[in-house]
Amino acid sequence: MLVPPLCWSCGGVARRREPLCLDCRGLLRRLGSEPAVLSGVRAWAPVAYAGPARDLVGALKFRGATRVAEALAAQIAANAPEWMLEGSLVPVPLHPRRLRRRGYNQAGLIADALGRRTGLEVADCLRRAGSAATQVGRDRRERRLGPVGSIELRAAPPGRTVLVDDVATTGATLAACATALRAAGSIDVAALVFARTIGR
């Protein structure tokens, strides 16, 4: 029996290889070409973290829909300012405990897909230790006070690095990654994420 692909947001019929139906694609809130500066890191995202974008990230992270990473990477690759697609892609690391439970790092999947599309090297050179707390799903006060877990190098970083993640909220995790990379010799650090929270 042939089952048509379903939209990860509304459950309606989607086109083959598309994780969203046309209506939900139209609901994605597109952001401009200017990167935001989050906690001191220039971070660019194609869409706002809301509506269908949130559902896509949820599908990738919590429903095992690893193929959604391809679509998220495609959105980044097709719309990112050209100057940001230079350097090596460094996935934001997942806490080992989460990695064991989930079986994959969603940022790593996006970085791999983005690497295939852009020809950029992927340098999985960071790891996370300490608190397993995440940014998404925590309230504002927790995010401000809570630790993001310490970021450590597990390999020498490339000179110019582009951090890759699914979502950026305050940028605290990106900043922790950037600090570790710069301390180890990276001279230029920017970030590409699929979605970023707006208007909080």
Q: Which positions touch Zn ion (CB under 5 A)?
A: 7, 9-10, 12, 21, 24
Could you tell me the smallest distance in angstroms from the CB atom of residue 1 to Zn ion?
22
**Which CB sits closer to Zn ion, 12 or 40?**
12
**Which CB sits closer to Zn ion, 16 or 200?**
16
Could you tell me the smallest distance in angstroms from the CB atom of residue 21 to Zn ion?
3
**Which CB sits closer to Zn ion, 71 or 107?**
71
**Which CB sits closer to Zn ion, 7 or 120?**
7
Could you tell me the smallest distance in angstroms from the CB atom of residue 32 to Zn ion?
24
Q: 3-class secondary structure for the chain?
A: CCCCCECCCCCCECCCCCCCCHHHHHHCCECCCCCEEECCEEEECCEECCHHHHHHHHHHHHCCCCCHHHHHHHHHHHHCCHHHCCCEEEECCCCHHHHHHHCCCHHHHHHHHHHHHHCCCECCCEEEECCCCCCCCCCHHHHHHCCCCEEEECCCCCCEEEEEEEEECCCHHHHHHHHHHHHCCCCEEEEEEEEECCCC
Could you tell me the smallest distance in angstroms from the CB atom of residue 12 to Zn ion?
5
Dihedral Cα 45, 49, 50, 56, nearest 10 deg: 90
**Which CB sits closer to Zn ion, 23 or 121?**
23
Could you tell me the smallest distance in angstroms from the CB atom of residue 110 to Zn ion?
21
**Do 179 and 163 contact (CB within 8 A), yes or no?**
no
**Which CB sits closer to Zn ion, 52 or 91?**
52
Could you tell me the smallest distance in angstroms from the CB atom of residue 54 to Zn ion?
13
Backbone Cα Rg of the chain: 16
